[in-house]
Amino acid sequence: MQSLNISTSAMRGIQQALDNTANNLSNIDTIGYKRRVASFSELLTDSMNEQPAADNKNRNSPVGIRIGSGAHLAMTKLDLGQGSLKQTDVPTDVAIEGDGYFLVTRKIKDANNVTVDEESRFTRNGSFKLSFDQDENGYVLHTSSGHILTDDSGTNIVFPEPVKNISISPDGAFSADGMPAPVKIGVWNVENPDQLKQVGENLFDAELAFRAGPQSKYTSAYDNGVTLLQGALESSNVSMTEEMSQLVNIQRAYQLNSRAVGISDQMMGIANQLRSR
Amino acid sequence: MIRGLYTSASGMLALQNRQESLANNLANINTPGFKQDVGVMRAFPEQLLSRMNDHEGLDVPGIPTMPGQPAIIGRLHTGVYMSEALPNFAQGDIEETRNPYDLALMDNIQPDQNGNERRLFYSVARIEQANLAQPAQQEDIRYTRNGNWSVNSEGYLVTAEGYYVLDSSNQAIRINHDPALGTNVGQNLKINERGEMMQVTIDPITKEEQYTALPTHARLGLAVVTDPQKLVREGTNVFRFEGDIAVEGIDLAEANDQAALAAGTYNTPMVEGRFGTQQGWRERSNVDPSQTMTSMMSVLRAYEANQRVITTIDGTLEKAANEIGRVNG
């Protein structure tokens, strides 16, 4: 009986939507996290059991009866709404106001400690730490995953000595005591962030070839009115109430479909008992 | 054999089809823009029953016995079948998503002069990569109410199933990497309530939003479908048009509306001002869960009753086969 498969397909999709909601909820306190919204879609529809031609005169719809085959989770769309800003007063914390991403990199080395590749990642997480880096032979700003922040030409920002009295202006200029010239933190505009691959650790794959600068593919976001805010972080844009109401919605849909499975099962049972005496 | 067996069996079969239709509605309870199907049951063609070799029997009131003819008993239907699944095009609820590529379509378009129902749809099409610069072929165009879109890697506006969203000249809408646009529109796309597409820019000095119409795509390809019951449901949220009244683009429908108003054919507009698109929202499925569940339960009970009839008739047949004619019974 097809209806069992129909309801099962929907339940599978709903379960994936539940996973998505659970992931959103678990990242409710992740800096710069962007929630995903589950979106369902219909599966194919079949036209079957074509009726006798005499029937066609009395009907409005095209011939045959339509039997759908259920639903599935079509996509999970990124919700790019701005998260609320959280004041931290840590000088190396930066929040992006507007649409834009920091570009961070990490070197990938082989067994002989030779750099073979470089990961280029986008992030909205502006929680950086200043520490010494062996490769760069200087102090760098890096994320919790160890990726180094880059400037407006895509090269790593390196300071020869630990800098003090850091100040970051809204247009991205980074200046500090004992620094010869200010560097500019790069913020990049991504036309279609939905297409970026999410690689975990709050990072998106920038899909840049090894040693190719971000200018080859992206434009600076400062032109679009993006500003930086020092001493603040962008909270996740997950809203507890929204996710909870979504959870209730999903759970009810799951229950309804499981009832449908139950009823179909009872009908099969009834058909089985046709000759049971 | 006893006719009731076949009658009840046809009932069970029809109810099974109805259950499948209900299960599909329920499965799509969270599908944006889904329109529920309502199963229509219909009796098999009517037959006249008559008593064979019986001329002397009583007349059935109203049906006189003709001399030399078998006595007519009355009319009989030998069962039921599900003849069609009619979609219910009622507007679904709308919900906010705050996503610039989500669009809810609300319509209150009036029936045409002949009283035919009219509904508004987005037109979408599957187009070969090489033909993207040309308008979509008429046979490739499909209609949907699902305004849950995204932008693909080439910068085209697409549905979740990969159909290209079309503008009013049946051209796939490209909002990124379009040479004619100069700059990329992307998230700054603005679609107003009439389906007109614009780019939002923020003036660097006054910080005010400015709207400029997209040079290549003036308006979204909204289609007015007259007699939407004739649409073929293809699944994956789209309908194919196979009716006899041509589909009107929204521009044409509005022009016709204006002409009729000017000519005094009717007093109030039937299309213009009677629909709206809302960006950042999406239309939910119009499946009513409580009604669907209730229908399922009644289907189950009716199915059970039909089974009981079959078992009862089977009991009668058993008597005929095993008890009648037995000596020393």
Q: Is residue B222 part of a domain?
A: yes
- Structural domain including B244 reads 94-283
CA distance A146 to chain B (A): 29
Give Cα B174 to chain centroid, integer Å.
28
pLDDT of B68: 67
Residue listed under structure tokens 């521009």: B251
**Confidence tier at A65 by pLDDT (50, 70, 90):** confident
Residue type, A134: Q
Kindly calculate the radius of gyration of chain B based on its CA atoms and give it in whole angstroms: 29
Q: If 0-12 CB within 10 Å is exposed, 13-18 middle and 19+ buried, where does residue A169 land?
A: middle
Contact B296 A1 (CB under 8 A): no
Residue type, A130: L
Q: Is residue B135 part of a domain?
A: yes
Write out the two tokens for A199. Answer: 């690689």
Among B15-19, B45-49, B103-107, the minimum mean pLDDT is found in B45-49
In A, residues 203-242, which contact B (CB 8 Å cutoff)?
224-225
Does an H or E element contain B125, and which? strand B118-125
pLDDT digits (tens, 9 = 90+) for B286-303: 999 999 999 999 999 999
The mean pLDDT of B24-32, rounded to a whole number, is 94
Residue A110 Cα distances to A106, A118, A127, A207, angstroms: 13, 12, 29, 21
**Confidence tier at B27 by pLDDT (50, 70, 90):** very high
Q: How many CB pairs under 8 A join A and B?
A: 203
Q: How many domains are there within chain B?
A: 1
Q: Please give the Cα distance from B199 to B205 (Å, whole number).
A: 18
Q: Please give the Cα distance from A218 to A226 (Å, whole number).
A: 15
Asked if A262 and A53 touch (Cβ cutoff 8 Å), the reply is no
Asked if B105 and B222 touch (Cβ cutoff 8 Å), the reply is yes
Q: Is residue B230 part of a domain?
A: yes
Residue A165 DSSP class: E
Buried b (16+ CB within 10 A) or exposed e, A21-43: beebeebeebbbbbbbbbbbbbb
From A233, A270, A181, A257, select the one nearest A3 (Cα to Cα).
A257
Q: Is the confidence at residue B329, as pLDDT, over 60?
A: no
**Confidence tier at A56 by pLDDT (50, 70, 90):** low
Give Cα A6 to chain centroid, integer Å.
29
Q: Is residue B21 part of a domain?
A: no
Q: Please give the Cα distance from B151 to A173 (Å, whole number).
A: 33
Q: Please give the Cα distance from B290 to B111 (Å, whole number).
A: 29
pLDDT of A51: 63
For B153, which of A44, A195, A275 is closest by C-beta distance?
A: A195
In B, residues 42-101, which contact A (CB 8 Å cutoff)?
42, 45, 81-87, 97-99, 101
CA distance B234 to chain A (A): 5
Q: Please give the Cα distance from A51 to B264 (Å, whole number).
A: 45
Write out the two tokens for B172. Answer: 């796939």
Q: Is residue B304 part of a domain?
A: no
Does B116 touch chain A if contact means CB atoms closer than 8 Å?
Answer: no
Contact B84 A65 (CB under 8 A): yes
How much of chain A exceeds pLDDT 90, in percent?
46
CA distance B285 to chain A (A): 10
Residue listed under structure tokens 């005591």: A177
- The packing angle between helices A240-272 and A2-26, to 10°, is 160
Q: Please give the Cα distance from B272 to B270 (Å, whole number).
A: 6
Give Cα B212 to chain centroid, integer Å.
36
Q: Is residue B59 part of a domain?
A: no
pLDDT of A55: 65
